Amino acid sequence: MSDLLIELFSEEIPARMQARAAEDLKRLMTDGLVEAGLTYAHAGTMVTPRRMTLALEGLTDRSPDTVEERKGPKVGAPDKAIEGFLRGAGVARGDLDVRDEKKGQVYYARIQRKGRAAPDIVAEVLERTIRNFPWPKSMRWGEGSLRWVRPLHRIVCILTGPEGHEVVPFEVDGLRAGDVTEGHRFMAPGEIRVTGFEDYQHKLKRAFVMLDPVERAETIRADAANLCFAAGLEIVEDAGLLSEVAGLVEWPVTLMGRIDAQFLDLPPEVLQTSMREHQKFFSVRDPETGRIVRFVTVANRETADDGATILNGNQRVLAARLADAAFFWQNDLAVAKDGMGAWIENLKSVTFHAKLGSEADRVERIAALARELAPVVGADADQAEQAARLAKADLTSEMVYEFPELQGIMGRYYAKSAGFPDTVADAVAEHYAPLGPSDMVPTAPVSVTVSLAEKLDKLIGFWAIDEKPTGSKDPFALRRAALGVIRLLLVNELRLRLFNATNPSLVEMRTDLVVRERENVLGAISDAIAAAKEYGTQFSGHLHGDLASADWVDEAVQLYPDLLAFFHDRLKVHLRDEGIPHDVIDACLAMPNADDLTLLVKRTRALAAFLKTDDGTNLVQGFKRANNILAQAEQKDGVEYSFGADAKHAHTDEERALFAALDAQEPVIQKAMAEEDFTTAMTTLALLRTPIDAFFESVQINADNQILRRNRLNLLSRIRDLCLGVADLTRIEG
């Protein structure tokens, strides 16, 4: 048994690749060694900017001897076949066994393989690992052909046993493995000879290399917290930045610096973004005021002046960066105070998508749609339109050009400084939300309106040009947009028929886009657009008219069911997370107005709750029984039993009781349904369970008397209609 230490020492490995690479090294090496017949007790891996380290404990010294039996040709087979078999098995003819089998005598070879020594196997597996390492990007250097993430300079590969350590003889592209590494590039230059992992780790620590990335991150976190605490300030946590910074240093030294007073008035988001993106600084906040007042930077070394020169340099660089940011901010404010007209004009030359026109075209559509949606959401239509017209203006501002992640946030500042009301400015900031399943959902009516309009426009647009998500590909984030619409509607309990034909803006936009696409593809001319406009504004009247013959009308009409199905799929995913099974959703999707997602979800939730009760499941059974009997009878008789059942033909008490129950509950259910009070409708429906069960117990439906039979089938039909009016219970499984 011995311990294996491997270090691959290179020029600086990009921070973002380090963690994954260390895992890959461990996986490829351990898999390879185990496959070759070695075993080990424990594997650990570490990574710094300049080295990846793998330490294996308790590696076996040899792989075991093995014997393989291989079946060969029949005795008496042509010599060629036998020779081929001997070659493949690597044995001599005299060594073959002959065995009796059902179909005659057959040759068998016993292939003995001697176990191999660990160093041979390690060398082989390490070479394969290095040559096939899955770097996201790799390169060649000098005159060599080896690929690595950056030039690879040293390989430590030693096995350490009770008698000491030995270098595994190994070479790749002229680079020979040894037992020598280096410490910190600046603080401890020169070679270090190591004998095993503990010795290695210990010597590296003395040479100012903290091997463990977790230890480096923790050191930075704790030191930064202490510096801030001592100054009565707090750090703005940033886990992504912490792990990146820990990947940029071997010996982290945390320093806190000042931000020039002249820059403290910049919006905090600008300070934070500029410091993080350009300088990889953490922001430090004054808990009293909530403002960013200082920064924390992490250097890769200690110095004789305790970092004074480094900090001074960093402060100067930051000042230059913030001078740029302040320059953008001042220029932008000038445009903003002027009403942002220049930016809005610029949007005409920013392409949103080649087939969907410029950002200006898009803003135009969003503004029209926002106006349309405003009354439904309860927003002021003028404000909604105004916010929509401003929503994308900051895209051409200098600050957002520099920091795209500040889109919307800057828009809010600029809209406010242009003198627009806060509701409008907030909508500019919030119209991108929600960006993910856990992102905040806007609730201010104007924000909700613009956000809905932005997303619906995007979805309808990309549907019109047939750029739908496929499989894992969703380059325009349309799934996210659809989920955004769903969450906006549900959180705000908005009642909106998404694809109602009476919603002219939606219809017009859709037809416009489809026509535009036609134009692109076929060169359709202006009269088609005119026709489309007319078609758009008078949708229902013209749907089946003369225009319906054109291809593009078919396309436009096809668009909505397909897009609605997409929404429904997203909704199913969303509701599944709530624990609502898909058959319950399907039962509600089949109901009218299923493009009103809030109504749909209300119905779904009520049905899901109902089905969890005994009454609910039993009622569904009763419904299904009624439905089956009816279906059979209708198929046999070739008629539909929908003519009103008459109580005067009721013969038994149970039959009369069912009539009475239906007469009593039907109006209650219908009233509740009209009021969309699905819970009351369903609990009332549940009251029918006992009379229905009793009816089935005591009454033979298919009576010999045809009048009685027909009357009873019609009674079942009444039950069926009543149930189907609540949800399509035929879809419920089980």
Partner 1 sequence: MAKPTCFQDVILALQDYWGATGCAVLQPYDMEVGAGTFHPATTMRSLGPKAWAAAYVQPSRRPTDGRYGDSPNRLQHYYQYQVIIKPSPPDLQALYLGSLRAIGIDTDLHDIRFVEDDWESPTLGAWGLGWEVWCDGMEVSQFTYFQQVGGHDCHPVSGELTYGLERLAMYVLGVDHVMDMPFNKPGHPQSLTYGDIFREAEAQYARFNFDTADTNVLLRHFEEAEAECAALLDQPALDPRTGRRIVMALPAYDQCIKASHVFNLLDARGVISVTERQAYIGRVRALAKQCADAFLMTEAGGWAEPA
In sequence order, what E strands does 60-187 have? Answer: 66-74, 97-101, 104-113, 152-161, 164-167, 171-172, 175-178, 180-182
Question: Token pair for residue 112?
Answer: 């003995």
Report yes or no: 343 and 331 within 8 Å, Cβ to Cβ.
Answer: no
Q: Stretches 63-71, 322-330, 627-635, 667-675: which one binds partner 1 (CB under 8 A)?
A: 322-330
Separation CA 177–CA 167 (nearest Å): 7
Q: Each residue of 533-561: b (16+ CB within 10 Å) or e?
A: eebbeebeebeeeebeebebbebbbebbe
* 14 class by beta-carbon count within 10 Å (0-12 exposed, 13-18 middle, 19+ buried): middle
Q: Stretches 283-291, 316-324, 479-487, 579-587: which one binds partner 1 (CB under 8 A)?
A: 316-324
Is residue 360 involved in binding partner 1 (CB under 8 A)? no
Alpha helices in 378-421 (DSSP H): 381-391, 398-402, 409-417
Q: Per-residue contact track with partner 1, 330 to 349, x per CB under 8 A?
A: -------------------x
- For partner 1, the closer of residues 186 and 643 by Cβ is 186
- Interactions with partner 1, residue window 387-426 (CB under 8 A): none
- Kindly give the interhelix angle for 582-589 and 597-611, rounded to the nearest 10 degrees: 130
- Interactions with partner 1, residue window 608-627 (CB under 8 A): none
Is residue 316 involved in binding partner 1 (CB under 8 A)? yes
Separation CA 156–CA 164 (nearest Å): 15
Report yes or no: 203 and 188 within 8 Å, Cβ to Cβ.
Answer: no
Separation CA 323–CA 260 (nearest Å): 10
DSSP string, 237-296: --HHHHHHHHTS-SS-EEEEEE--GGGTTS-HHHHHHHIIIII-PEEEE-TTT--EEEEE
Closest approach of partner 1 to the CB of residue 226, in Å: 20
Distances from the Cα of 567 to the Cαs of 214, 463, 563, 578, in angstroms?
A: 43, 12, 6, 17
- Identity at 278, one-letter amino acid code: H
Question: Token pair for residue 152?
Answer: 């690879």
Binding residue for partner 1, selected from 312, 331, 642, 702, defined by CB under 8 A:
312
User: H or E segment at 635?
Assistant: helix 614-637
Distances from the Cα of 451 to the Cαs of 132, 436, 441, 597, 664, in angstroms?
A: 47, 14, 10, 16, 46
- For partner 1, the closer of residues 90 and 134 by Cβ is 134
From first CA to last CA, the distance across the chain in angstroms is 59
Report yes or no: 532 and 512 within 8 Å, Cβ to Cβ.
Answer: yes
Question: Token pair for residue 314?
Answer: 């960093």
Is residue 734 involved in binding partner 1 (CB under 8 A)? no
Q: Per-residue contact track with partner 1, 646 to 685, x per CB under 8 A?
A: ----------------------------------------
Separation CA 355–CA 349 (nearest Å): 14
Q: Per-residue contact track with partner 1, 236 to 255, x per CB under 8 A?
A: ------------xx------
- For partner 1, the closer of residues 245 and 370 by Cβ is 245
Is residue 20 involved in binding partner 1 (CB under 8 A)? no
* 167 class by beta-carbon count within 10 Å (0-12 exposed, 13-18 middle, 19+ buried): middle
Q: Stretches 9-17, 422-430, 506-514, 561-569: which one binds partner 1 (CB under 8 A)?
A: 9-17
- For partner 1, the closer of residues 120 and 223 by Cβ is 223
Is residue 176 involved in binding partner 1 (CB under 8 A)? no
Q: Per-residue contact track with partner 1, 258 to 297, x per CB under 8 A?
A: ---------------------xxx---------------x
Is residue 475 involved in binding partner 1 (CB under 8 A)? no
Residues paired with residue 70 on neighbouring β-strands, in sequence order: 109
Contact residues for 65 (Cβ-Cβ < 8 A; gap 6+): 112, 113, 114, 115
Is residue 303 involved in binding partner 1 (CB under 8 A)? yes
Closest approach of partner 1 to the CB of residue 305, in Å: 6
Q: Stretches 117-125, 311-319, 507-515, 632-640: which one binds partner 1 (CB under 8 A)?
A: 311-319
Q: Stretches 71-79, 298-306, 387-395, 444-452: which one binds partner 1 (CB under 8 A)?
A: 298-306
Closest approach of partner 1 to the CB of residue 204, in Å: 19
Q: Stretches 282-290, 321-329, 538-546, 589-597: which one binds partner 1 (CB under 8 A)?
A: 321-329
Is residue 15 involved in binding partner 1 (CB under 8 A)? yes
Binding residue for partner 1, selected from 112, 351, 632, 652, defined by CB under 8 A:
351
Report yes or no: 396 and 336 within 8 Å, Cβ to Cβ.
Answer: no
Is residue 141 involved in binding partner 1 (CB under 8 A)? yes
Binding residue for partner 1, selected from 36, 86, 188, 319, defined by CB under 8 A:
319
Is residue 323 involved in binding partner 1 (CB under 8 A)? yes
Separation CA 363–CA 454 (nearest Å): 8
3-state DSSP assignment of residue 132:
coil
Is residue 181 involved in binding partner 1 (CB under 8 A)? no
Separation CA 367–CA 373 (nearest Å): 10
Binding residue for partner 1, selected from 81, 98, 222, 320, defined by CB under 8 A:
320
- For partner 1, the closer of residues 302 and 364 by Cβ is 302
Q: Per-residue contact track with partner 1, 144 to 173, x per CB under 8 A?
A: -----xxx-x--------------------
Closest approach of partner 1 to the CB of residue 244, in Å: 10
Binding residue for partner 1, selected from 1, 9, 12, 469, defined by CB under 8 A:
12
Separation CA 176–CA 158 (nearest Å): 12
Binding residue for partner 1, selected from 44, 186, 338, 640, defined by CB under 8 A:
186
Report yes or no: 499 and 564 within 8 Å, Cβ to Cβ.
Answer: yes
Q: Per-residue contact track with partner 1, 110 to 139, x per CB under 8 A?
A: ---------------------------xxx
Residue 521: CA count within 13 A, CB half-sphere: 11
Separation CA 609–CA 590 (nearest Å): 18
Binding residue for partner 1, selected from 69, 305, 640, 663, defined by CB under 8 A:
305
Number of residues that bind partner 1 (CB under 8 A): 48
Closest approach of partner 1 to the CB of residue 248, in Å: 6
Separation CA 432–CA 499 (nearest Å): 22
- For partner 1, the closer of residues 139 and 660 by Cβ is 139
Closest approach of partner 1 to the CB of residue 65, in Å: 43
By CB under 8 A, name the binding residues for partner 1.
11-12, 14-16, 49, 137-143, 149-151, 153, 186, 248-249, 279-281, 297, 299-301, 303-305, 309-314, 316-320, 323-324, 327, 349-351, 354
